[in-house]
């Protein structure tokens, strides 16, 4: 009886762990020269998507981070990623009174003296759910892009963020 109870308890503990793995995606980013630029971790939390950035090997300063529409990161300019993810057909910038692209994240990331930076965003306008209209995994996925300059959060279509300097492909995890 105790063995059965122990096995059942172990199963109940293990199931949420396995289920959570389906609700998260870790994306490696690369610079235009192929250098490791860190990771972005996406975790679905009920109605919000958490995006945790751990960046490295990038220039010191403030940088825009956006989700782009295609799951392509062809160096050196990463233009194959297309424009900002925008299924709602809105304009750029979280300070835009007309609404913003779904790919616009709420703040810039600061890269410090060690050429590293961290940031965490929680947004309710992106999802990992494959059937959701705002899913970053639908239609083959999207990309996460770091730009050379800060986003001014209002200028359409890109926030004057400059060139694309690091990119990571966001796709469904393989089982």
Give the C-alpha separation, 158 to 161, whole Å.
6
Query: Do 159 and 151 form a contact (C-beta atoms < 8 A)?
Result: yes
With the CA atoms of 73, 74, 75 and 77 taken in that order, what torsion angle do they form, in degrees rounded to the nearest 10? -80
Query: Do 152 and 89 form a contact (C-beta atoms < 8 A)?
Result: no
Residue 153, classified by CB atoms within 10 Å of its CB into exposed (0-12), middle (13-18) or buried (19+), is buried
Catalytic sites, residue numbers: 66, 68, 84, 92, 101, 104, 147, 164
Give the C-alpha separation, 105 to 62, whole Å.
14
Backbone φ, ψ for residue 9 (5° rounding)? -60, -45
Residue 124, classified by CB atoms within 10 Å of its CB into exposed (0-12), middle (13-18) or buried (19+), is exposed
């Amino acid at each position: 009886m105790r063995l059965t109870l122990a096995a059942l308890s172990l199963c109940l503990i293990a199931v949420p762990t396995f289920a959570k793995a389906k609700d998260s995606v870790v994306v490696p980013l690369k610079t235009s020269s192929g250098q490791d630029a860190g990771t972005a971790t996406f975790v679905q939390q009920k109605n919000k998507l958490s995006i945790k950035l751990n960046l490295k090997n990038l220039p010191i300063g403030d940088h825009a981070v956006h989700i782009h529409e295609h799951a392509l990161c062809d160096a050196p300019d990463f233009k194959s990623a297309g424009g900002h993810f925008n299924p709602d057909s809105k304009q750029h910038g979280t300070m835009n009174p007309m609404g913003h692209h779904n790919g616009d994240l709420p703040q810039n990331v600061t890269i410090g003296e060690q050429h590293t930076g961290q940031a965490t965003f929680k947004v309710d306008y992106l999802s990992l759910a494959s059937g959701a209209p705002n899913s970053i995994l639908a239609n083959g996925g999207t990309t996460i892009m770091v730009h050379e300059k800060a986003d001014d959060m209002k200028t359409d279509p890109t926030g004057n963020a400059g060139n694309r300097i690091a990119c990571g492909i966001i796709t469904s995890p393989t089982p």
